[in-house]
């Protein structure tokens, strides 16, 4: 089976501009990417790069294209476009998603740009084993409906509501039994189902029994399934829950620091044996000391020692302590030892296969203890897994993540990988702004060495401290 997580699979395509030009493309997170340098060589213009701003500027044919690393947003002559997939940095070059960037080429080069892919290139996509959609279940909860779609392996997907009580789920490189799923009916929840198989994707369309204003979704393991929570805001349970959040009148006074993993759950392990659980606790205690010595804020750690703490228990602890900020500390891992840098995550659907795999890795303990099970919905059998809570603090979580990213970029000598989204179980039930900080890659020999250094861990802790103080100062009103 071919697994694409930053795996380089060079092939060629043809870009015609009066003449035939060949250009290499790479598969990154299952998406075809092309190098900005190669495009500049074909279409001309000047390409400048700002290391400090992490931005590229392409001046071509009296147009100006501005790209930011690890962001899907691109400026063309001052107008913003969303590529759908982030701009990437690989092997010293900047890469953009081919199919989504192609329309922008048309804008800066007008009718001169034509795209013809070689027929042989499709063979690479055929080598990708498709994820099979195997089953669908739906159940009524106190505060809404939970739909679970079971799949054979992790898959890139999207959920959207086109209107008229329909919900569509698209599976990139997904395979579905159209006859079986088009006959499904679940009384009281799903009136009708339709399944469609396309050349490189599949779609499941569900006609719901009613419209839902609040919904969230995530990909979780054990077994692999997509959970879609649809909250009924008219239910007595949901009205009580909204009232509980609305009654928060405290300022940012309580910080919850969550050292990832612990006890029998080592987390990721570096080439030289450094454990993620050790790094996370070390930095967490440094951060705790900074708050204790320099601020009037209350700070609590979800674990003070090398102990196993279930994911749901961490969020429950944060809520019981009246936390105003939840910060979960981790170190990432990749099969590619050259992959490196730090990345901040906010609650939300993962936008790339790489982020999906990080989500699955963190949601499934590598050495789970007897009480650390996540096969069942973490909220129990009667309520939705996330209750839609993370959506209510989306803006605050984004603001906090931006400040953390800025401070880490100023403090660390390593690469910034921007802000991503993922449905981490540890964040889903925290009733406050919440983020996950992937401080570095333990799989990188260089960054494993840095994570052993006292100075580097101190830089991380101080950057996090400054960011949280900034967030508090920028939030004079209650959350």
Average pLDDT over residues 112-119: 49
Position 3 in a domain = no
pLDDT band at 155 (very low <50, low <70, confident <90, very high): confident
Inter-residue contact 310 to 429 (CB < 8 Å): no
Quote the pLDDT of residue 15: 53
Tell whether 269 and 223 lie within a shared domain. Answer: no
Quote the pLDDT of residue 176: 92
Tell whether 79 and 156 lie within a shared domain. Answer: no
Compute the distance between CA of residue 180 and CA of residue 178 in angstroms, rounded to an integer: 6
Quote the pLDDT of residue 156: 77
> For residue 359, which of 132, 71, 170, 154 has the smallest C-alpha distance?
154
CB-side neighbour CA atoms (13 Å) of 390: 28
Quote the pLDDT of residue 383: 60
Position 375 in a domain = no
CATH number at residue 195: 2.60.40.3500
Range in 102-106, 119-123, 348-352 with the lowest mean pLDDT: 119-123
The pLDDT tens digits of the residues spanning 384-403 come to: 665 545 556 778 888 999 99
Q: What percent of the chain has pLDDT over 70?
A: 74
Tell whether 37 and 108 lie within a shared domain. Answer: yes
- Say how many domains are in the chain: 3
Position 134 in a domain = yes
pLDDT band at 452 (very low <50, low <70, confident <90, very high): very high
Quote the pLDDT of residue 276: 95
Position 313 in a domain = yes
Average pLDDT over residues 446-460: 95
The pLDDT tens digits of the residues spanning 44-68 come to: 889 998 767 778 899 988 899 999 8
Average pLDDT over residues 90-112: 76
Quote the pLDDT of residue 57: 92
Is it the case that residue 215 has pLDDT exceeding 50? yes
Tell whether 270 and 327 lie within a shared domain. Answer: yes
Quote the pLDDT of residue 142: 67
Last residue of a domain, one of 200, 231, 262: 231
Quote the pLDDT of residue 236: 55
**Helix, strand or coil, per DSSP, at residue 190:** strand
Task: Give the Å distances, CA to CA, from 472 to 171, 250, 277, 411, 433.
Answer: 40, 12, 28, 20, 12
Inter-residue contact 4 to 131 (CB < 8 Å): no
Range in 228-242, 249-263, 283-297, 421-435 with the lowest mean pLDDT: 228-242
Tell whether 182 and 46 lie within a shared domain. Answer: no
Tell whether 165 and 288 lie within a shared domain. Answer: no
Question: Which residue did the predictor score with more confidence, 337 or 374?
Answer: 337
Tell whether 140 and 116 lie within a shared domain. Answer: no
Q: What are phi and psi of 203, to 5 degrees?
A: -140, 140
CA dihedral 356, 386, 420, 225 (to 10 degrees): 10
Compute the distance between CA of residue 365 and CA of residue 221 in angstroms, rounded to an integer: 11
The whole-chain average pLDDT of the chain stands at 78
Q: Which domain holds residue 330?
A: 248-367+382-473
Is it the case that residue 22 has pLDDT exceeding 50? yes
Is it the case that residue 307 has pLDDT exceeding 60? yes
Is it the case that residue 120 has pLDDT exceeding 70? no
Last residue of a domain, one of 103, 125, 147: 125
Is it the case that residue 194 has pLDDT exceeding 50? yes
pTM of the model: 0.52
Quote the pLDDT of residue 250: 46
Position 241 in a domain = no
CATH number at residue 386: 3.40.630.40
Inter-residue contact 425 to 330 (CB < 8 Å): no
Position 33 in a domain = yes
CATH number at residue 58: 3.30.457.10
Compute the distance between CA of residue 7 and CA of residue 478 in angstroms, rounded to an integer: 45
Compute the distance between CA of residue 162 and CA of residue 240 in angstroms, rounded to an integer: 29
Position 236 in a domain = no
Average pLDDT over residues 298-322: 88
Is it the case that residue 302 has pLDDT exceeding 90? yes
> For residue 375, which of 460, 455, 310, 458 has the smallest C-alpha distance?
310
Q: What are the tokens at 71? A: 């962001």
Tell whether 175 and 270 lie within a shared domain. Answer: no
pLDDT band at 455 (very low <50, low <70, confident <90, very high): very high
Tell whether 390 and 277 lie within a shared domain. Answer: yes
Question: Which residue did the predictor score with more confidence, 428 or 418?
Answer: 418
Task: Summarize the chain as % helix, strand, coil (round to 5).
Answer: 30, 35, 35
Tell whether 195 and 318 lie within a shared domain. Answer: no
Is it the case that residue 380 has pLDDT exceeding 50? no
Position 240 in a domain = no
Tell whether 116 and 142 lie within a shared domain. Answer: no
Tell whether 49 and 64 lie within a shared domain. Answer: yes
Range in 33-37, 58-62, 152-156, 246-250 with the lowest mean pLDDT: 246-250
One-character DSSP codes across 325-358 = EEEEEEEE--SSTT---EEEEEES---SHHHHHH
Q: What residue has token string 């495009």?
A: 39
Quote the pLDDT of residue 39: 86
Last residue of a domain, one of 76, 98, 125: 125
Highest mean pLDDT among 18-22, 186-190, 258-262: 258-262
């Amino acid at each position: 089976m071919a697994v694409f997580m930053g795996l380089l699979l060079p092939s060629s395509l043809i870009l015609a501009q009066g003449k035939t030009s060949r250009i290499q493309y790479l598969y990154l997170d299952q998406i075809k990417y092309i190098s900005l340098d190669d495009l500049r060589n074909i279409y001309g213009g000047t390409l400048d790069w700002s290391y400090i701003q992490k931005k590229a500027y392409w001046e071509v044919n009296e147009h100006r294209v501005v790209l930011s690393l690890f962001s899907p947003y691109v400026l063309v002559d001052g107008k913003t476009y969303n590529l759908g997939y982030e701009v990437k940095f690989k092997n010293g070059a900047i890469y953009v998603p081919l199919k989504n960037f192609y329309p922008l080429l048309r804008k800066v080069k007008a009718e001169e740009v034509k795209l013809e892919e070689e027929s042989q290139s499709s063979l690479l996509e055929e080598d990708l084993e498709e994820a099979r959609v195997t089953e669908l279940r739906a159940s009524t909860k106190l505060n809404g409906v939970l739909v679970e779609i079971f799949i054979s392996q992790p898959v890139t997907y999207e959920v959207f509501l086109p209107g008229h009580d329909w919900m569509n789920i698209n599976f990139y490189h997904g395979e579905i039994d159209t006859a079986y799923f088009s006959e499904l009916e679940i009384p009281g929840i799903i009136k009708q189902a339709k399944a469609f198989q396309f050349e490189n994707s599949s779609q499941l369309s569900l006609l719901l029994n009613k419209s839902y204003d609040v919904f969230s979704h995530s990909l979780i393991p054990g077994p692999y399934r997509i959970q879609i929570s649809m909250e009924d805001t008219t239910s007595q349970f949901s009205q009580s829950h909204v009232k509980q959040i609305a009654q928060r009148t405290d300022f940012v006074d309580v910080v919850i620091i969550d050292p990832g993993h612990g006890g029998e759950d080592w987390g990721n392990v570096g080439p030289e044996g450094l454990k993620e659980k050790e790094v996370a606790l070390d930095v967490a205690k440094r951060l705790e000391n900074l708050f204790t010595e320099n601020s009037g804020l209350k700070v609590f750690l979800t674990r003070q020692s090398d102990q196993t703490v279930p994911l749901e228990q961490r969020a429950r602890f944060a809520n019981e302590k009246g936390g105003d900020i939840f910060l979960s500390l981790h170190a990432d891992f990749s099969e590619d030892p050259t992959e490196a840098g730090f990345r901040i995550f906010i609650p939300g659907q993962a936008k790339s296969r790489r982020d999906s795999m990080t989500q699955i890795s963190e949601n499934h303990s590598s050495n789970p203890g007897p009480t650390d099970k996540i096969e069942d919905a973490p909220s129990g059998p009667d309520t939705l897994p996330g209750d839609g809570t993370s959506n209510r603090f989306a803006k605050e979580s984004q603001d906090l993540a931006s400040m953390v990213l800025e401070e880490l970029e100023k403090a660390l000598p390593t690469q910034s990988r921007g802000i991503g989204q993922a449905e981490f179980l540890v964040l889903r039930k925290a009733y406050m702004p919440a983020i996950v900080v992937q401080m570095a890659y333990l799989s990188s020999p260089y960054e494993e060495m840095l994570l052993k250094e006292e100075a580097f861990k101190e830089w991380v802790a101080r950057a996090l401290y400054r960011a949280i103080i900034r967030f508090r100062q920028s939030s004079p009103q209650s959350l």
